[in-house]
Amino acid sequence: MSAWMKKLHWNKVFIAGLGYLIISTVLQQVEVMFTMKYYQDPALVGIWSKLMMPVAGPPPLAFFAISLLFSYATGCTLAAVFEFMSPLFGKGYWGKVIGFTDIMVGLAIVFSYFPMYLLLNIPAILLVWWLVASAVSILLTSIVFAKMMK
């Protein structure tokens, strides 16, 4: 374990990870209500993973279980990074919230959304929906992290 990781308050990180899990799950369900037509479009069937859509229709229960596990792992990772980077944003509550949100959304765009747009046959508007949902999720989670990880 790296030296910086030893300094983290892991109990807070694991609890804060639950905050992300809840927020992102709710926002993903809202986003799906607006984008369902893309998931049902036969022309796009080839871009969805076999885990999500082994056959036409709604994803199986295993997909939701793995999605929850991955969301929790993502939340714990974000919480650990938030705690580590928090001093860089000063002492102000909103400075920490906005600073962390800016960095995480910026990194998501560069390392995720740009490559998806270039490499995958995903409609650009769907990528925009995903980006907005992710940005709102990170903003709301940052608010929770800033309150929990003083």
Residue pair 52/59 in contact (Cβ under 8 Å)? The answer is yes
User: Is pLDDT of 97 > 90?
Assistant: yes
In order of 8, 35, 80, 135, the CA distances from 101 in angstroms are: 20, 24, 14, 7
Using 50, 70 and 90 to split pLDDT, how confident is the model at 3? confident
Element housing 129 (H / E)? helix 124-148
Per-residue pLDDT of 65-89, as tens digits, reads 999 999 999 999 999 999 999 999 8
- pLDDT at position 149 is 87
Tokens of 122: 């995903």
- From CA 85, how far away is CA 90, in angstroms rounded? 10
Contacts of 6-10 with CB under 8 Å at 24 or more apart are 7/84, 8/80, 8/83, 8/84, 9/83, 9/149
